Structure 1
Amino acid sequence: MLRLHVDDYSPKYYSGKWSWDWKKDALHFEPHNDLSDAKERYITTNSFKFLRTMNQEEELVFRHVFARADTTYDTNSVVLNDIRDLVLFFMPSEFLSYKFVEFMHHRAVYHLLHSLTIYFEYYLRMVEFVMIRRDELSGQMGQIQSEQTNDMKRVFSVYLSQYRMLVARNYSIIVKAEGDLGKFYHMKVVNISATIWEKNFHEQLLACSTQIVWIAMHRRAYNIIEMEMNRLFRSDYFVTARTEYPTFSPVERSLLYGRSSKNMNYRKQVSPLIQELENPKEEDLPILWIEERKYRGTNIRIMEIELEYIVPPPQLRLIDVAHGILGHPRKLYNTILELDWSAVRYCNLSMKHDPYFMVRQPRLKIPKIDEMKRHQMAETYETFYKINEIYDLPSHAIYLKWVKRDKLLENYRAGGLLTSNYLRAENELNRTSLGPSVDQIISNYRKAMVKHRKR
């Protein structure tokens, strides 16, 4: 039986907007090719202009050159690398240096982005909780808070601080330049740093991290994510007063920012991430060893954080945890990772069968009354097992592709062709080289299977 396959040479995402044509009395589609200066085309993050969407030409180049190949591991699920590649394609041209592209693919940066995604998943739920409680306590029909409500808020604040502590651990590894991270520091003379270069490098990392977290969180609450990201990595002195940013009361700030957040003179002020590591609680110290060694003890909360962090995104549904769009089926999203609701309708999701939290609302689990006492009285035992992670670094050729991104786009717009499935098959038929032997192909396959099964 002959099976026809749709060629991936045709665009899948039609970028533009619909408007009503009163002359023709019908809907009219206006592509973004004619809206290069429109607000729908760009989004500004820390004064840098990122693409918000892509036209058909850019989509073809992205899918054929930069997107993750279908032959990679867990290609059916959305992973953090998919979001990172999309942001690298959307970022401004001044970001396209070999050193920054290599830095964004580093293992330490991946862990930082992973922990940021987990933190903001919980942080956005906390902000929603604070807004709801604000409405419930205000007005003539305001409710009276009980002592149990205040205890619950304290537990929520401690949980958020624990996720923040995990982000601070990963960020401190980058700041201290552990391992091979020292080559990304700009040094003019021995032990003298090039401050301007490092400032720009930090600004670029912060802008890309904001974009990655925003896309991972279903592109919602952008202003809250941008405000909290600037506060985390800098301090409140660097958070500008904008009407789009929410304003929190001192009580709400203490709930969201935690017990370690302190504002001092700007000359002595350090970032809230570093403040989390200055005086950690003894019962929270095992968090610093998550993913380095297996936790052994009676602290259920540490076990939950460890499980939530070390489980790969494609397997999050097995522990009933949601981290934005991570782990969702790739077929439910278009090229720019926007949810295709027409595809969701045919997934037969319900309140009883909803592994990706698309029908159910992600919620805060109400803690037990003695949660803090149990957390403080838990015991930690000696660790015998270390956790080894398999992280594949891209090749030198892939880094060069990202650096030449603009040239590839200009070449395609000037009339250059991308290789379609038909042309690729024709070139393979005309190729005279024999390629690898059968034994080599079998050996490579077995090595790949052994590596993937260890994950």
Structure 2
Amino acid sequence: MLRLHVGKNAPKYYKGNWSFDSKKDALNFEPYHDLEDVEERYISTNSFNFLRTITQEEELVFRHVYGRDDTTYDTRAVELNDIRDLVLFLMPSEFLRPKFVEFMHHQAVYHLLHSLTIYFEYYLRMVEFVLIRRDEISGETAQIQNEQTNDVKRVFSVYLSQYRMLVARNYSVIIKGEGDLEKFYHMKKLVNISQSIWDKNFHEQLLACSTQIVWIAMHRRAYNVIEMEMNRLFCSEHFVTARAGYPIFTPAEKSLLYGRNSRIMNYRQQVSPLIQELQKLNNEDLPILWIGKRKYRGTDIRIMEMELEYIVPGPQLRLIDVAHGILGHPRKLYNTILELHWPSVRYSNFSKHHDPYFIVRQPLLKIPKMDEMKRRQMAETYESFYKIKEINDHPSRAIYLKWVKRDKLINDYRSGVLLTSTLLRAENELNSTSLRPNVDQIIADYKKSVAKNRKR
């Protein structure tokens, strides 16, 4: 629990810009007296304003209260939970409701965000490929496409659809509202009346937070592409508004990016593209629905690659030479709001021959073999005997309440209330007369924590 005490020697932090004064021949620091008036303080996502940057007071509160503890597992690497906590701190105040905060900490939502990160890593590469090919086949020096080029495009499109199936599977678990997700379901018990307005707002908030999380995970690039595709995935093209920054794709490019199962119908009968991916599955793609649930046994190399990419934790992605945005990168390379700190990168001495985090190297689309689709159809799938079990740490109710009190804590700190230092907190605990666990209990808890982390 957070402990606060009032003091007069509150540290003053400043945020501003450095500029060169030619008259004085020196650097001049111009602080922001009110960051609310600075341009680009906010970024709009589906009409919700998220913070783009934070003041030094807000940064201190986030690092002291909401940041991940140094004693947690893989604390030196960037995890998806780090990005989620940052977005929860940057999101609007109307999102701070106990039910929504608890929902964002649910394991099913974590799986959805994880699959979205994998999907958009591949999707952004595909968009880049489409735009490059658009320039190559147009103009005075246009290139001629052959049949092999079309075969490669078909394989790329199928791969993207497979990642979309993974997202659709995790999303369908949420919308069914079974098990402990029933409390977030829109139908009231007994009376079976739908809470339509509440469900609409809940869905829009989830969509906005997911867009922010994926955008930050993708190095804060291609925001308009991510936002447009996110709205299309969960809603359909009927609900994608036209904006100046959104890319415009030709019908051929849409068929490549959106897949063979994408259908546009009357808005009364239209279902989201995610659900469309599950309505028509090929036999060779059925094992995708079990990725992360049970171990795949078969001869399909593509399924093995997807399974390895999905079940390997972010901090260990470098071991399989895979990039999922900033996941698994050393935290020392990033600042508080997970922006790349280039001086730290410069002193890390990365090169094309030594770059396990794809900071210098450019993640590329691997050219598949020409007979890739035939090989997959001839692959065999055997009965699986092993289930994949996760080790989940369920947050306590105190953590949910801490997030709900976010604005109050920031306002208290700005009004002169200091966050207790580690030394003062230790002195208060020593002087406290409350009952504390004995030495044997502390040792037993430590051994239990070590055994759990080693299983990971």
What TM-score do the two structures reach when normalised by structure 2?
A: 0.94
CA displacement 1:371-404 (0-9 Å, x = unmatched): 1111111100000000111111111101000011
Structure-2 residue corresponding to 1:320? 321
Asked if residue 64 in structure 1 is aligned to residue 64 in structure 2, the reply is yes
2:421 — aligned with what?
420
Spell out the pairing of 1:159-174 with structure 2 (5 A cutoff): 159-174=159-174
| C-alpha distance 23-124 of structure 1, shift in aligned 2 (>3 A) | same
46 and 77 in structure 1: CA distance in 2 versus 1, 3 angstrom threshold:
same
- String of CA shifts for 1:398-425, please: whole Å, max 9, x gaps: 1000011111111111111101233224
Deviations 1:82-116 (A, max 9, x none): 00000000000000100000000000000000000
Deviation at 1:427, TM superposition (A): 2.5
- C-alpha contact 2:43 2:49 (8 A) present in aligned 1: yes
Aligned to 1:335: 336
Partner in structure 2 of residue 391 of structure 1? 392
Pairing of 1:374-389 with structure 2 (within 5 A): 374-389=375-390
1:156 match: secondary structure:
helix
State the alpha-carbon separation in 2 of the partners of residues 390 and 255 from structure 1: 38
- Residue 26 (structure 1) shift: 4.6
Using the alignment, how far apart are the partners of 1:436 and 1:28 within structure 2?
54
The residue aligned with 2:4 is none
Contact 2:13 / 2:57 at 8 angstroms: preserved in 1? Answer: no
CA distance in 1, matches of 2:354, 2:154: 33
Please name the residue that 2:5 is paired with: none
Q: Matches of 1:446 and 1:13 in 2, distance apart?
A: 41
Conserved? CA contact 1:79–1:314, under 8 Å: yes
Residue 84 (1) aligns with residue 84 (2): yes
Alignment of 1:296-307 (within 5 A): 296-307=297-308
| CA-CA distance at 1:340 after TM superposition | 0.7
Given the superposition, is the C-alpha separation of residues 13 and 249 from structure 1 closer, same or farther in structure 2, using an over 3 Å criterion?
Answer: farther
Matches within 5 A, 1:16-35: 16-19=16-19, 26-35=26-35
Aligned to 1:123: 123
Provide the C-alpha distance between the structure 2 equivalents of 1:252 and 1:181, rounded to a whole number of angstroms.
Answer: 37
CA distance in 1: counterparts of 2:337 and 2:270, whole angstroms: 39
> Are 1:403 and 2:404 an aligned pair?
yes
- Note if contact 2:217-2:326 (Cα within 8 Å) is conserved in structure 1: yes
Q: 1:178 to 1:188 in 2, by over 3 A?
A: closer
Contact 1:32–1:41 (Cα < 8 Å) also in 2: no
Pairing of 1:164-243 with structure 2 (within 5 A):
164-187=164-187, 190-243=191-244
Describe the SS at the equivalent of 1:309. helix
Question: How far 1:210 sits from its partner (Å)?
Answer: 0.2
Distance change >3 Å, CA 248–CA 294, structure 1 → 2: same
The sequence identity of aligned pairs, in percent, is 78
Shift of 1:428: 3.9
8 Å CA contact 2:10–2:416 kept in 1: the answer is no
Classify 1:440/1:298 alpha carbon distance in 2 versus 1 (closer, same or farther; 3 Å): same
| Alpha-carbon distance, 1:454 to partner | 1.6
Where in structure 2 are there 5+ consecutive unaligned residues? 1-8
Identify if the C-alpha distance between structure 1 residues 246 and 187 changes in structure 2 by more than 3 Å, giving closer, same or farther: same
Distance 2:12 2:394 in 1: 29
Q: Per the alignment, do residues 449 and 350 of structure 1 end up closer, same or farther by CA in structure 2, a change over 3 Å counting?
A: same
Tell me how far 1:434 sits from its aligned partner.
7.2
Q: Distance in 1 between matches of 2:451 and 2:31?
A: 46
Instruction: Name the residue aligned to 2:352.
Output: 351
Relative to structure 1, the CA distance from residue 33 to residue 281 in structure 2 (aligned partners, 3 Å threshold; closer, same or farther) is farther
Q: CA deviation at 1:453?
A: 1.6
SS at structure 2 position matched to 1:439: helix
1:281 equivalent in structure 2: 282
For the residue of structure 1 that corresponds to 2:276, the secondary structure is helix
Structure 1 residues 413 and 33: CA distance shift in structure 2, 3 A: same
Greater mean alpha carbon deviation, residues 193-202 or residues 345-354: 345-354
- Provide, for residues 328-387 of structure 1, a one-character-per-residue CA deviation record: whole Å limited to 9, x for no partner: 001111100011110111212111111100111000001011111111111000000001
Tell me the CA shift for residue 219 of structure 1. Answer: 0.3
Aligned length: 447
Q: Partner of 1:308 in structure 2?
A: 309
Distance in structure 1 (CA, Å) of the matches to 2:278 and 2:420: 51
Contact 2:77-2:331 at 8 Å conserved across structures: yes
CA contact (8 A) 1:10 1:60 kept: no
> Does the C-alpha gap of structure 1 residues 238 and 286 become closer, same or farther in structure 2, counting only changes over 3 Å?
same
One-letter code of the match for 1:441? I
Distance 1:267 1:285, change over 3 A: same
User: By how many angstroms is 1:33 displaced?
Assistant: 4.8
TM-score when normalising by structure 1: 0.95
- The structural deviation recorded for 1:439 is 1.5
Q: Which residue of 1 aligns with 2:248?
A: 247
Match of 1:6 in 2: none
Conservation of the 8 A alpha-carbon contact between 1:32 and 1:55: no
Letter in 1 for 2:372: E
Residue type of the partner of 2:362?
Q
1:125 maps to a residue whose letter is R
**Which residue in the other structure is 1:74 paired with?**
74
Cα gap change, 1:42/1:33 in structure 2, threshold over 3 Å: closer, same or farther?
farther
Residue 109 (structure 2) aligns with: 109
Partner of 2:6: none
Q: Distance in 1 between matches of 2:12 and 2:253?
A: 44
CA deviation map 1:248-269 (0-9, x unaligned) = 0011000000000010011100
User: For residue 154 of structure 1, what is the amino acid of its counterpart?
Assistant: R
Q: Distance in 2 between matches of 1:273 and 1:162?
A: 11
